Amino acid sequence: ETGVTQTPRHLVMGMTNKKSLKCEQHLGHNAMYWYKQSAKKPLELMFVYSLEERVENNSVPSRFSPECPNSSHLFLHLHTLQPEDSALYLCASSQDRGRSQPQHFGDGTRLSIL
């Protein structure tokens, strides 16, 4: 499925680097999400954007900074990350108005912090 595309697929960075994760959805959805999944752990919701407005920030450290310039694109800017931030970062989208509609996920970015 190519409805939600994430880049890069893999990222290795040092703790002092700045990088950005990108997500793009081609499904005409109006809500987008960032999740973090550490090894063998459940998904953790990080941010929710609906109609380009941030509607949820789940106590995420400020070294993670989301950006949603339009309803099709979502970024996660990374700065001064810690080793415990190594995880799979998943982007998802959904149709906000159709409350029976599911989420669709991208392939994820596997992030490793050295």
Partner 1 sequence: RKEVEQDPGPFNVPEGATVAFNCTYSNSASQSFFWYRQDCRKEPKLLMSVYSSGNEDGRFTAQLNRASQYISLLIRDSKLSDSATYLCVVRDGQNFVFGPGTRLSVLP
| Sites of contact with partner 1 (CB under 8 A) | 1, 31, 33, 42-43, 45, 48, 50, 55-56, 88, 90, 92, 94, 96, 99-108, 110
Contact 42, 87 (CB under 8 A): no
Q: Which is nearer to partner 1, 73 or 110 (CB)?
A: 110
Q: Which is nearer to partner 1, 58 or 82 (CB)?
A: 58
Q: How far is the CB of 7 from partner 1 (least distance, A)?
A: 14
Contact 18, 78 (CB under 8 A): yes
Q: Which is nearer to partner 1, 16 or 42 (CB)?
A: 42
Question: What secondary structure, in 3-state letters, does the chain show?
Answer: CCCEEEECCEEEECCCCEEEEEEEECCCCCEEEEEEECCCCCCEEEEEEECCEEEEECCCCCCEEEEEEECCEEEEEEECCCHHHCEEEEEEEECCCCCCCCCEECCCEEEEEC
Q: Which is nearer to partner 1, 25 or 94 (CB)?
A: 94
Q: How far is the CB of 18 from partner 1 (least distance, A)?
A: 25
Q: How far is the CB of 34 from partner 1 (least distance, A)?
A: 12
Q: How far is the CB of 80 from partner 1 (least distance, A)?
A: 26
